Amino acid sequence: MMHKEIAAGLNLPSLEKGWVWLVGAGPGDPGLITALGLQALAQADVILYDALVDEHLLTLSTAEKIYAGKRAGVRSCKQDEISETLVALAKEGKRVLRLKGGDPFVFGRGGEEAQALAHAGVPFRIVPGVTAGIGGLAYAGIPVTHRDTNHAVTFITGHGIDGKLTKMDWAAVSRGAPTLVLYMARRFAAEISQALLAAGRKPDEPVAIVANAARSDQQVIVTTLSDLAAAAENAPSLAIIVIGENVRLAEELSWLAKTRP
Ligand code: SAH
């Protein structure tokens, strides 16, 4: 069956005029976008995309494209302005696609944008995406949970709005979280590893830095908690850090390199 026939068989809703769809594009590989995401790409009049969105995905759409990216430190676009633009475009009657890296509701401020739309009375749909802390790990051959290693997983952002290390009870996290998946944490790898070691985590606990996950330049650095700070210093900046026994599975399950020519 052709792709188009399959998509038609799904009876997907249409991106209507005056609506905003908040869509997750996944962590890199454009193939990870959902069917609803493709529908939005095909039907949008205008796309507001952020820095993490794969460029190839954007070239598939003829819509007007507006860059609405932010990078830690560089405030190229203020959050309020992005929300205001979304509201204004929808009120003009445009079909608006807000395309974000990973999942829009995972450390992506999608919640704030949705709140702005709700307050303005703009109808919207949330289209979840593959988040870097799950799908990105899968591209490194690391199951985010595994029966033999961890029955729980904790997602943490390394820094908050103020750009400083996230304030939290790291000792409690250390005791209660068998596997930690850290977003935006590379700059704070030294502080985080120190806090976890001080709280009793083992220095030889396995850690992976999954950089540029699901992209053509993916790099997986496997290290230990005691060596994390040094390893993070040399790693590319776009990275997920995963701490826990499940990291050991990467040795057996890494598959990406094997599928490349
Ligand atoms: N909403 C996104 C996360 C946005 S926060 C999601 O669900 O994936 C940005 C952080 O996500 C980055 O600092 C990095 O820690 C992580 N990240 C996003 N894409 C990534 C990728 N392809 N490889 C590694 N880390 C990634």
CATH number for 183: 3.30.950.10
Sheet holding 20-24, edge to edge: 64-67, 46-49, 96-100, 20-24, 124-127
| Closest atom, ligand 1, to C-alpha of 215 | 22
> What is the mean predicted confidence (pLDDT) over 26-52?
96
Q: What's the one-letter identity of residue 95?
A: R
What is the reported pLDDT for 91? 98
Higher pLDDT, 163 or 47: 47
> Is 125 found in the same domain as 155?
no
pLDDT exceeds cutoff 90 at 165 = no
Q: Do 204 and 150 belong to one domain?
A: yes
Task: Looking at the structure, tell me whether residues 107 and 19 fall in a common domain.
Answer: yes
Can you give the residue range of the structural domain that contains 55? Answer: 2-130
Alpha-carbon span 30 to 208, nearest angstrom: 23
**Annotated catalytic, 164?**
no
- Which entry of 54, 100, 103, 184 is annotated as an active-site residue? 184
Q: Are residues 11 and 104 in the same domain?
A: yes
Same domain, 142 and 252: yes
Q: Does 108 lie in the same domain as 55?
A: yes
Question: How far does the centroid of ligand 1 lie from the alpha carbon of residue 94, in Å?
Answer: 29
Q: What is the pLDDT of residue 160?
A: 77
Would you call 49 exposed, middle or buried from its count of C-beta atoms within 10 A (0-12, 13-18, 19+)? buried
Query: Are residues 170 and 110 part of one domain?
Result: no
Q: Which residue, 107, 130, 153, sits at the end of a domain?
A: 130
User: Does pTM surpass 0.85?
Assistant: yes
Nearest atom within ligand 1 for CA of residue 135: 8
Instruction: Based on the fold, state whether residues 123 and 207 are members of the same structural domain.
Output: no
Question: CB under 8 Å to 80, separation ≥6 — which residues?
Answer: none
Question: Which is more confident, 258 or 15?
Answer: 15
How far from the centroid of its chain's Cα atoms is residue 106's Cα? Answer: 7
- What's the pLDDT at 77? 64
Q: How many domains does the chain have?
A: 2
Mutate to test the pocket of ligand 1, among 22, 50, 52, 106 (most ligand atoms within 8 A of CB): 52
The two structure tokens encoding residue 174: 């250390």
pLDDT classification of 25: cutoffs 50, 70, 90: very high
Looking at the structure, tell me whether residues 138 and 240 fall in a common domain: yes
Looking up tokens 């997983």 gives 153
Question: What's the whole-number average pLDDT of the chain?
Answer: 93
Same domain, 120 and 139: no
Q: What is the CATH number of the domain that holds 6?
A: 3.40.1010.10
Name the token pair of 195.
């806090």
Decide: 183 in ligand 1 pocket, CB within 6 A: yes
User: How many percent of the chain have pLDDT more than 90?
Assistant: 86
Active site residue 50: yes
Q: Do 140 and 232 share a structural domain?
A: yes
Query: Measuring from atom 12 of ligand 1, which residue has the nearest CA?
Result: 184
